[in-house]
Amino acid sequence: EKKRKEELDKQKKVQLAKDLNDKERDKIIHSVEFTKFIDYSTKVALRALNETYDIITNYSESADLDSGDED
């Protein structure tokens, strides 16, 4: 029962994620750790975006394509 309450509290905490005010947001944005994170993660996402990503679109459900070029 106690564990369940803790879980609910935890859930509540996430659901009530606080809105950052401008000052708090600025502090994060100016931090070294955030700068590193955003710089790196943006590059990773860009790379992923620029992949030729067309794995699903070309198949119909009957899937009559040859079995892919499995190098």
Partner 1 sequence: MASLELEEILKPLIANPHVLGVLVANKEGSVIKTTLDAVITKLYADKLTKYLEMTQKMIQEIDEPDAPQKNELTFLRIRSKKHEIMISPDVTEHKYMLMVLQNPERKTESGKDRI
Q: What residues make contact with a copy of itself under the rule CB under 8 A? A: 4, 36, 39-40, 42-44, 46-56, 59, 61, 63, 65, 67-71
CA distance 31 to 3: 35
Which residues, 6 or more positions from 59, have their beta carbon under 8 angstroms from its beta carbon? 65
Q: Does 17 bind partner 1 (CB under 8 A)?
A: yes
| Contact pick of 2, 33, 64, 65 for partner 1 (by CB under 8 A) | 33
CA distance 50 to 38: 18
Helix (H, G, I), strand (E, B) or coil at 19: coil
Q: Which is nearer to a copy of itself, 4 or 18 (CB)?
A: 4
Q: Does 19 bind partner 1 (CB under 8 A)?
A: yes
